[in-house]
Amino acid sequence: MNGKKKLAISLLLIALAASMASAAGWKKKKNKSSVTASTSWTAAFADIAGVDSVNTIAPASMRHPPEYEITVDDILTVNKSKVFIYAGFERMMQTLGSNGGTSSVQMVQITCDNSVATVTASAEKIAAVTGTQAKMKERLAEYTDYIAAAAADIEKKGLKGARVLCNKNQIYLAKDLGLDVAATFGPGPVTSAQIADAQAGGYAFIIDNVHNPVGQPLAEVAPDAAYIIWRNFPEETGRGALLTVVKQNVTQLDK
């Protein structure tokens, strides 16, 4: 299917969604408090930003939520929203575009990784739109305080500066925890050079990404390195979802 046909289909879906919304009698005034997020990860950022009720488009149960194919019902959900939060790498954005298919939805694009710097910047960006700055300060402090405490605990255990061979999608938290990300791999298949490096690199940890794990060949040639698999997208949405993910990731360092 060529680009023009894809665009035509996308526009048709959006027009159909708008028509169905009108026929169902939805009124704009009912949507003023509605916030929708593309995935459980962007929803988790909204939670830290102080938003208490967030619709999520891609199911949290998916291994790789960005691949989710949006449906007409999903488009209706977005169109009913006041705010739509997304990262930009989601497949659904090929259909929704930068305005969600309707000018009435405020589109908020954020950066997604679990570093303190990015979580802070993205939460502040969302809160500025939703007016939830007070809640954001409290929830953000909870997140940053945990990262600081975890880093201190890692240092106490003698793991600060431990050499890590890390999936590119997991380097941010590893660095914040005080680990030495000496080399990276992924998201594509590992190369022969990376396998040789894993064998000779003296790594304490090989950290892979559960949403697209490719590091098993590296672990096979580096038996002294602890092979652990971290998560970014929460398996469940709701209060404290991102902090739960980070805590689970940190716990694996005790292997």
CATH number, position 230: 3.40.50.1980
Task: State which residues form the domain around 157.
Answer: 151-254
Comparing C-alpha atoms, which of 50, 35, 38, 132 is closest to residue 80? 35
Same domain, 14 and 121: yes
pLDDT tens readout for residues 152-207: 999 999 999 999 999 999 999 999 999 999 999 999 999 999 999 999 999 999 99
Same domain, 25 and 114: yes
Torsion of CA 18, 19, 21, 23, to 10 degrees: 160
Helix (H, G, I), strand (E, B) or coil at 246: helix
Residue 194 has which token pair?
């990376």
Same domain, 105 and 211: no
> Where do the H-state alpha helices sit in 157-229?
171-176, 192-200, 216-220
At a CB cut-off of 8 Å and minimum separation 6, what does 95 contact? Answer: 10, 13, 14, 70, 75, 101
Structural domains of the chain, count: 2
Write down which residue in 72, 103, 132 finishes a domain. 132
pLDDT tens readout for residues 44-102: 999 999 999 999 999 999 999 999 999 999 999 999 999 999 999 999 999 998 665 56
Taking the C-alpha atoms of residue 35 and residue 55, their distance in angstroms, rounded to an integer, is: 6
Is 248 part of any domain?
A: yes
Taking the C-alpha atoms of residue 75 and residue 77, their distance in angstroms, rounded to an integer, is: 5
Identify whether the C-beta of residue 40 lies closer than 8 Å to the C-beta of residue 58: yes
